[in-house]
Structure formats: C-alpha cells, structure tokens
Structure 1
Amino acid sequence: MAMYRCSNMVIGYLNLLSLLASIPIIGGGLWLARSSKTCESLLQKPLLVLGFVVLLVSLAGFVGACFNVAWALWLYLLVMLLLIAALLGLTVFGFAVTGRGGGVQVPGRVYREYHLEDYSRWLRRRITEGRYWQAARACVVGSKACANIVLWTPLDYLQKDLTPIQSGCCKPPTSCTYSAGAAVAAQDADCYRWNNAASVLCYECDSCKAGVLEQVRRDWHKLSVLNVVVLVFLLVVYFTGCCALRNARRAEYGYPYGENHMSKMRPRWDYYWGRWWRDRRDQLY
C-alpha cells in the first residue's frame, strides 16, 4: 500500500510546490507590467500567462493526486503536455531571436553602443512599428534614465558604464562630431536626430530603439535559461503524474494494488467433457 500511494504523494507535493511557485511568477509579471526597466511588453504577457496556467494546472494535479480523481488527472496531464510543448516552443523561439545583439565596445570607454541592424529581423520589425515604439518611448521618458546622467562630466563618460537605454537614448553616438551645436559632414543619421532638449535627446534615434531591444534581449535570454530548468521540472512532474493517474484508476475501480485483473480464460472443451463423464460415473457407482 505504501508503494501504491508513493507516486500520488510525490505528485501531490510537487504540485503543491509549483502551486506556491506560481504566485511569485504572477507577481513578477505584474511587477514587470509596472516596472520601467524593460520598457517593452514582450516579457510581461508571457510571464503572466505562464503563471496563471501553472496555477490552474498545479491545482488540478494536486486535487487529482490527493483525492484519486481520475478525470482531474486526465485534464491535468493533457494541459501539462500542452504546457510543455508551448514552453519548449517559446524557449527555442527565445533563444533564436535573442542570439544576436550585445552591442559594440566603444574604444576608450566602459560602455557599449547598440545598432538596430545587429538584432533579429523579428525584433526589429516589432520595435519599429508605431504603436509599439510609442509605448516603449513613453516608458523610456518616464523612467528618468537620462536624468540620472544629466550632470555627468566628460570624465564620467570615460570612467562610468551606461545601461543600454542610457547609451542609446540619452546621448548621441560617440562617433558624432558637432560644430556650433550642429552635426557636420556625413555622419550617422542618429547624429542629426539628436537634440539637447530634455524632451527630445535621442529618443527618436535608431540607437534608442536598439538600446530598448538590448534590454529586452538580456531579460528574455535570462527567461529562456529559466525555461529550460522549468521544462526539466515539468517533465519530471508529468511522468510522475502518469503513475498517479494509474493509481487513481485502480482506486476508482476498487482494484487492490498488485492484484492480477486478467480475465479468466474460457475453459477448453475437454474440461466440460471430463466433468460430464465424472458426474455420470458417480451416478452409476
């Protein structure tokens, strides 16, 4: 009986753990929705959806394993299989779109600069769409990232590091040359988009869009690595759930563990003939 309940107890504890773990996942998604660090919604919605799905799936698995509810375990295993497939696809897609980028080290400086063409086509197409970029730009402006470096001296730019958003949105490219406040000669297009006004700066520069993508790339890459760990955990839970489903079906039909439920074989013809002959013999003698 202890072996009979082993997988049920394991799946119950694992789902209780994942049930509790879904709370910080949902909290993290809500925090990202209000945070000004990422300034893009690519991570917020998948994290929220993942948290709520894990919550519901873990609840179904916990109830099914603890109370031997076979239909709940069937539903749990089906949704778990879909969740594993979706998470696997999201992880592969995440690694594919975040494989490029990373910026270019500026000679003599600590910080890096970022170029839009260095990122995947899917990310570039998304960030350059008007409705997405307007929301991201408003987030960058509201984050006050540029206000943190407004009092920096030229020496600070030589010795201190910049975040991707600060590097791309708060200053012109380092290669730009200005005379009397205007860009001279043929230079990067962002050199002409730069304006010293606090409400303009380089918010419309391609380098600013690249800085936002770099922040998204870093966060999404971390999430993809975490997804690999979650996938391994879900696979362990899924196979344990298969054992729990088998036990639940045994309990539902009243089968004791270890009992052989093979249907009785139909006796051969000579069984009935031998029995008839013995009965006749007993009557005669």
Structure 2
Amino acid sequence: MYRTSNTVIGILNSLTLLASIAIIAGALGMAKSNKTCEHFLQKPLLILGLAILIMSLAGLVGACCNVACALWVYLFVMILVIAALMGLTVFGFVVTSHGGGVGVAGRVYKEYRVEDYHPWLRNRVRVYQYWNTIRSCLLGSMACSKVALWTPLDYLHNDLTPIQSGCCKPPTSCVYNVATMVEQDSDCNRWNNDANVLCYDCDSCRAGVMETVRRDWRKLLVLNVVVIVVLIAVYSIGCCAFQNAKRPHQFGFPYGHYGRSKSQPGWDDYWRRWWTGGGRDRFY
C-alpha cells in the first residue's frame, strides 16, 4: 500500500499534463480567434496552464522516481495554484454579479447598459487604446454581417447575441427621420449605417462586450470550483507520496524504518552495539 499514493499521483498528473497543454493551446488560440474579441481570460488561462504544466511534470518525476525534492516543488506549486484559483473565483463572482441585460417590449432580444456592470469591467472598456483593439476585432469578426440582412420583421422574432444587440443596431428607443422633443439616448447620435461604423463606438456595444465576458467568466467559474475540489483531493494524496519519498532518506532502509521486519536491525540497534562495544572510546 505504500506505493498506492505514488501510483495515483502519477496517473493523475499524466492527465493534468495533457489538460495543461490543452489550456495553453486554448489561451494562445484566443489571440488569433475572431469569435471572441475580449481577451480578459487569455492571460489568466495562459498563466494557469503553465503553472499546471510545471506542477504536473514535478509530480510525475517525484511520484515515478520517488524524488522527495520534486514532490516538494509539486506540492508547493499546487498550493499556489489552489490559492490563485480561489482568489480568481472569488473575484470572478464579485465582478460577474452585475449586469444581465434588460428586456425590450415586443422583442425577443435584450439590450445592455454600461452602468449595470461592475466598475472594474467598465474601466477596462473605457480605455481608448484597449477599446480600439476590441473594435478592430469586432470588425474582423463580421459579427454584424448576418444582422445586416434582416428585415424589420426579423427583429421582432429573432434573438440577438449581446454583441449583435449592442454593436450592430442603434438602441430600440431611438427615433429617426421624425421630429421629437424627447431627449434620446446618446448612442442614437453615434449610430451610422456605414458597415465600418454602425454602433461600434456606442456604450451599448461596450455593454454587449461586457455581457459576453460575464457569460464566459460564469462558465469558467463553475469549472474553477470543480478544479479546486479535485486539486485539494490530489494535494492530500500528494502529501502521502511525499512522506513515502522521504522515508528512505530519513532511515537508510527501503520504505523507511517502520517498514523493516523484526529480524532486520535498525539504526537504534547499530548505535547500541557501537556504544556498548567500545566504539565511543575512539573519541577519547
């Protein structure tokens, strides 16, 4: 049974090694993907993937080769990963607790307002250089190409993604070509029929991007909770493997002092024989 924990750690780390490669590949692929133009999750995923990769390699070396030093690195990195995931999860729940969109009378889709979202997200999308990068990505993604072909009747029966709702059309409340004394949303003046302009500079577009981030982050938080529970369980098994790896170095016998048979002498027996046999006289 003494090697059971080492075997389990080896198998689990083989799986986490493959998972870390997938996480790193996914994070790197985000930079080249036009499907999601907000890369809030790219850097955290890349850092997480690299940490799990190092942790898995150290765990494999330590468990398979019974190297206590490698297992110590493995357990230390795992503690850091668990702490980071807990912090990211708590922060994510706080940030994503705001928003969600507002229903529009007579429409299937929702519309989104900047002021409904967490200040941290709002500050991110209001940075000029940052938003220009997102805007360029939205143009390249052709997110509005499908909506451009819709008739007014389609808007009554079809749903819209948050980005399509905020970036591809003006707010539903806007009134054009008719004189009105009612003050309109500032996004109504930002709207332009040009396919390269549309409502990409509107607050509603920023809100649509934030809603997309909020939904993606919510999915990641569920995964985070599962991963944290699994890592805590694996950490407990890793502690057993670490103790197994230390025993030969502590006592000089395979599997440790307490694993020897009754007929096999221990360090206390050698010390007793040396002391009673006059070996102590060599010091005088």
TM-score higher than 0.5: yes
Residue matched to 1:277: none
Deviation for aligned residue 1:184: 6.4
Give the alignment of 1:1-285 within 5 angstroms: 3-179=1-177, 185-253=182-250, 254-255=252-253, 256-257=255-256, 258-259=258-259
- Letter of the 1:106 partner, please give it: V
Deviant stretches of 4+, over 2 Å? 182-185, 251-264
Q: Deviations over 1:231-250 (max 9, x none)?
A: 11111111111000000011
Q: d(CA) in 2 for partners of 1:61 and 1:252?
A: 19
Q: In structure 1, what is the Cα distance between the partners aligned to 2:80 and 2:208?
A: 34
Residue 150 of structure 1 aligns to a residue whose secondary structure is: helix
**Any stretches of 5+ residues in structure 1 without a counterpart?**
273-285
Deviations 1:209-261 (A, max 9, x none): 00011111111111111111111111111111100000001133434353487
Deviations 1:46-85, CA, capped at 9 Å, x for gaps: 1111111111110100110110111101111111111110
Residue aligning to 1:282: none
Aligned partner of 1:251: which letter?
P
CA shift, 1:24, in A, is 1.5
- Given that residues 25 and 48 in structure 1 are in contact (C-alpha distance below 8 angstroms), is that contact kept between their aligned partners in structure 2? yes
Q: Which has the larger radius of gyration?
A: 1
Cα 1:130–1:53 shift into 2, 3 Å: same
> CA, structure 1 residues 68+172, in 2 after alignment: closer, same or farther (shift >3 Å)?
same
Check the 8 A contact 1:116/1:210 in 2, yes or no.
Answer: yes
TM-score (norm 2): 0.88
Change (3 A) 1:251 1:201: same
Q: Normalised by the size of structure 1, how large is the TM-score?
A: 0.88
Q: What SS does the aligned partner of 2:149 have?
A: coil
8 Å Cα contact 1:115-1:207 kept in structure 2: yes
Amino acid at match of 1:142: G
Q: 1:183 touches 1:191 (CA, 8 Å); kept in 2?
A: no
> Larger relative CO (CA 8 A, sep 6+): 1 or 2?
1
CA deviations on 1:156-190 (whole Å, 9 max, x unpaired) are 1011111111100010000111116x886411110
